[in-house]
A and B are shown apart, each in its own frame.
Chain A
Amino acid sequence: MRRAFPALIAAVLAIACMPARAQPLVADLSQHLVAITAGFTGADIVMFGATDGPGDVVVVVTGPPKPTIVRRKGRLGGIWVNRESMLFADAPTFYGVASSKPIDEILSPQQLDRHQVGVNHIRLLPPNPEARRDDIPEFREALVRARQRDGLFAVEPGKVTFLGERLFRARVVLPAKVATGSYRVQVLLVRDSQVVTVQTTPLLVSKIGFSADVFDFAHHQAAAYGLIAILIAAAAGWTAAAAFRRI
């Protein structure tokens, strides 16, 4: 990833030096594929870009959505038991945000909602309208809180740093337990509280190499995988018994 920096900077500089009438915003990622290998401990996603003039930049990274159930505990006969629950159909599995200024200074709450900027503005609703009770906000907050605890939702927005007036750089950290799938990276250019333009870039997080092979094998040939797991376990047990008998 670090090796890609000089090339990227050169590319961005080239773009920045061009007559900038064509596009108000140009940006690209340091990598479009995050490979989860056996030694994966998380990754830094670096975004470089240039604007055609002054303005604020917001970068939003959204992970693949997954239906998620939030359950609330209540006291029943002295012990804590799961009581009410709510299903969120499209809860993102990751949400990171970075901006050049605090987001509520750049955009109005309506704009934040529309573009889903900031953890409190992610669109999270139960799938069917009749299930929409008035306690949605509490369940919503609980979902955000739980994801933040896992490091999957941004607690504090990161920084978009401007290098000069038009070049910018942003960094979003993917923790080790990120979900695989296709992520969406959006770059918003904001002027006078209005979103001038949005650029969307895909980012793929995928298992590569040994872990990917194991995962595929476990899912596509489950019975064979189970048998091999048994053989490995039994062989390990037998080896241990044999090895320690000699000592």
Chain B
Amino acid sequence: MLELKNITKRFGDRTIINKLNLTVKDGEILSIVGPSGAGKTTLLRCITGLEKVDGGDFLVDGKPFDPFTNRSNDSVIGVVFQNFELFPHLTVLQNITLAPTMVLKQSEADAQAAANKLLARLNLSDHGDQYPYQLSGGQQQRVAIARALAMKPNVLCYDEPTSALDPNLRQEVEKLILGLKADGMTQIVVSHDLTFAENIADEMLHVEPNQTK
């Protein structure tokens, strides 16, 4: 379970997130929706440790945890970026095994076995030796998911998972996310696509642009 308590984030004198409280239960999907500029992505960046919060606490299973400085080897948060941010010079398999071997110190063989399982799970078995530029957008996204899952995170976060893809791929993404939920994955999805967000969500969080400055 991931809990956010009184999370506050400011950029200069603009308060983007004001004393936000939030709970994501294990195995559930939280959708964060709202118009652009409302701070959804900022909130996600705080949860994933890419931005430092100005106040408040994060708790994982009741234990305090600071995503910004927590650099220990138990990875809590996995991220699938809007543009996937795969490493273009590495093959699909290398993209997935890089962090497990370098950070978790898994052996090359263990990491590859785990990666191959993930690739099979995500229908990418034939693509392990290809480079990201050879894949379609949807395939790249699944590689990004596999890369994040290889670090065995407690929570998997997505930033706008439908926006870089063809509109007709939306249902595929829904299926994929619900499939991972069936596997027991806790997920947080930021989206401006309300229908998509509602289709997958157990909980919805609507964020509005903050009026206070």
A and B found bound together: no
